[in-house]
Amino acid sequence: MLADQQCYCTTFFDFYGLPESFPGKNTVDANAPVAVKAQTLQNAFAEKLTEKIGANAMRRFIPYVQMYEFEALLFSDPIKMAQGMDRVGLEAAFTQIAHGFDSPERINNSPQTAPSKRIEKHIFGYEKPLLGTLAALEVGLDTMREKCPLFDTWLKNIEALI
């Protein structure tokens, strides 16, 4: 695809889902701010890809490593998240989770406490594709972008291509 001068390529990788062999994953400082971790990974990934496909193709590549699961975006508005999942009784529980962090982008602090795991504690048989999509539609992209600056920056990079 990158050989096509009209095409651009991006990624949307979940940090915790990446193998240990992913470029830069072993060099990330666990105590660094989320933005620094993301930039470290994206730079290492871009460097590795440049070696493989060349600098010319890399001009049309936008690396993005999301430092949290998709569900973290849903915690941008925990009330609408609960409503979208048709679980209004969970508004308080989801709000409490969201208020435990200064940004939804910080909720994913381990594979055991990932946003989906937090949701699964409240919704037995949580169906990510269905309930996650319904919640995302209710929360809305504008709210996600407002509350999640790394996600917003990635989208702005894509929008700047126009």
pLDDT at 4 over 80: no
User: What are the residues facing 9 on neighbouring strands?
Assistant: 61
Q: How far is CA 21 from CA 18, 48, 74, 145, in A?
A: 8, 12, 29, 30
**pLDDT band at residue 148, thresholds of 50, 70 and 90?**
very high
pLDDT at 71 over 90: yes
- The rounded mean pLDDT for the chain is 91
- The alpha helices in the chain, defined as continuous H runs, are 34-53, 55-58, 70-74, 78-84, 91-99, 115-120, 133-139, 141-147, 149-159
Separation CA 118–CA 82 (nearest Å): 13
With a CB cutoff of 8 Å and minimum separation 6, the contacts of 95 are 78, 79
Q: What is the pLDDT of residue 129?
A: 92
Q: What is the pLDDT of residue 3?
A: 63
Q: Which residue has 């504690």 as its token pair?
A: 121
Separation CA 40–CA 84 (nearest Å): 34
Identify the weakest region by mean pLDDT among 6-10, 71-75, 138-142: 6-10
pLDDT at 2 over 70: no
What is the mean predicted confidence (pLDDT) over 94-102? 96
Q: What is the pLDDT of residue 96?
A: 97
Q: What is the pLDDT of residue 110?
A: 75
